[in-house]
């Protein structure tokens, strides 16, 4: 039986580049090469595409130039060498790109043009989830609680008198915790807005929600959804900043993850059902991590949705799935199967 040809895209010309490479290295450890023939496509920090042997330490220097052809007759890669090119037909792509240009619909649009099935959310849901203000509008209209929020465009000034402090100031369309600040006093607001604008011209200001931070991993399409065990972010001080540590593999300076989350059974069920409702309302497919706040009165409030969550050794999504009895190798199997099934519909 022929192996499934899987293109694995990682790296990227954004601030999430190092995290993406780490996700690729973890996937390389768990991808079943008896079933799959992997083609590793690394994108350097400067935006060059390289076909390499894997996401090892020297991949940026050893790979061959490659592009994903938008021509559907190619259905895959054009490998460039000495003025000529060879084609590699792909059956499916795993885009292991986080944040801008990987999680916002840009890569998904290129794959749609190429006609190649891919794992994860499609163009509209990727773009919608990437813009937190639009996510909140859709979810609010679906009857699910969101934080009170304000958006500030590039030329706008914000009136601190309209806000109830503390607030969080963040780029509206960025990944992880890059550019995020907690603001407790009005005089701190201008600097926080400028910090967020380093990552996006559109800035989101949201009221702080008093509640426990809970994560839910979701896997599947339409109504056939699997959720992993929940986790809870336990903080010693400050606020949760994912991927900001110098060595996240050794742990965070202010947070740990409790899996399964130490919350009552009825709260657990409510969070899981709410996460699935959020996933469906936003049109997600494949996989996503839905982060919420669980308030003391039992209310579930959306925090954010990550449509291509990290798959590193320390990432929350694979940890929650593993706690539910689904190791990363099986998660990857399902991601590939879901991508191929959806494209055949």
Is residue 241 very low, low, confident or very high in pLDDT (cuts 50, 70, 90)?
low
Confidence (pLDDT) at 301: 98
Q: What percent of the chain has pLDDT over 90?
A: 77
Confidence (pLDDT) at 331: 98
Alpha helices in the chain (DSSP H): 17-30, 59-62, 106-114, 123-130, 132-141, 189-197, 265-281, 316-323, 328-344
Write the pLDDT tens digit of every residue in 320-337: 999 999 999 999 999 999
> What is the bridge-based pairing of β-strands 212-221 and 76-81?
unpaired
Nearest to 286 by CA among 339, 343, 227: 339
254 has pLDDT over 70: no
Confidence (pLDDT) at 250: 53
40 has pLDDT over 60: yes
Q: What positions carry a catalytic annotation?
A: 19, 22, 98, 243, 249, 289, 310, 314
Confidence (pLDDT) at 238: 54
Cβ atoms 329, 30 nearer than 8 A: yes
54 has pLDDT over 90: yes
Confidence (pLDDT) at 248: 65
Confidence (pLDDT) at 235: 78
Structural domains in the chain, CATH included, are: 4-118 (3.40.50.20), 126-145+210-344 (3.30.470.20), 149-207 (3.30.1490.20)
Which residue bears the tokens 């839910």? 216
Write the pLDDT tens digit of every residue in 148-194: 999 998 878 888 888 889 999 999 988 767 889 999 998 899 899 99
What is the token pair recorded at 71?
Answer: 């021509």
CA distance 224 to 77: 32
Is residue 268 very low, low, confident or very high in pLDDT (cuts 50, 70, 90)?
very high
CA distance 128 to 149: 16
Nearest to 81 by CA among 93, 68, 69, 63: 63
Could you tell me which residues are beta bridge partners of residue 258? 232
What is the token pair recorded at 291?
Answer: 């982060």
Residue 340 φ then ψ, to 5° = -70, -40
247 has pLDDT over 80: no
Which residue bears the tokens 């110098």? 246
Across the chain, mean pLDDT equals 91
The sign one gets for the Cα dihedral 209, 210, 211, 213 is positive
């Amino acid at each position: 039986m022929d192996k499934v040809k899987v293109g694995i895209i990682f790296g990227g010309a954004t601030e999430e580049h190092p995290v993406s490479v780490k996700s690729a290295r973890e996937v390389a450890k768990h991808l079943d090469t008896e079933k799959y023939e992997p083609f590793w496509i690394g994108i350097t920090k400067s935006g060059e595409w390289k076909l390499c042997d894997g996401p090892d330490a020297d991949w940026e220097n050893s790979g061959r130039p490659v592009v994903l052809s938008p021509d559907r007759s190619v259905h895959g890669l054009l490998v460039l060498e000495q003025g000529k090119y060879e084609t590699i037909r792909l059956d499916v792509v795993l885009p292991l790109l986080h944040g801008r240009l990987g999680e916002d619909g840009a890569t998904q649009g290129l794959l749609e043009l190429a006609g190649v099935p891919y794992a994860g959310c499609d163009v509209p849901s990727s773009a919608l989830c990437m813009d937190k203000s639009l996510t909140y509008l859709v979810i609010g209209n679906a009857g699910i609680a969101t934080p009170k929020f304000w958006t500030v465009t590039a030329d706008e000034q914000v009136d601190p008198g309209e806000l109830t402090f503390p607030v969080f100031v963040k780029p509206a369309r960025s990944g992880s915790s890059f550019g995020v600040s907690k603001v407790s006093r009005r005089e701190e607001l201008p600097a926080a807005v400028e910090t967020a604008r380093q990552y996006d011209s559109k800035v989101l200001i949201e009221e702080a929600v008093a509640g426990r931070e809970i994560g839910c991993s979701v896997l599947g399409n339409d109504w056939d959804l699997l959720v992993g065990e929940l986790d809870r972010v336990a903080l010693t001080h400050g606020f949760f900043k994912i991927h900001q540590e110098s060595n996240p593999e050794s742990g965070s300076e202010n947070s740990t993850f409790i899996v399964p989350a130490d919350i009552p059974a009825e709260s657990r069920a409510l969070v899981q059902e709410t996460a699935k409702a959020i996933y469906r309302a936003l049109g997600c497919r494949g996989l996503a991590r839905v982060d919420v706040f669980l308030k003391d009165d039992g209310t579930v409030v959306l925090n954010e949705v990550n449509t291509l969550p990290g798959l590193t050794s320390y990432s929350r999504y694979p940890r929650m799935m593993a706690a539910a009895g689904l190791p990363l190798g099986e998660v990857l199997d399902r991601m590939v199967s879901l991508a191929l099934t959806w494209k055949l519909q």
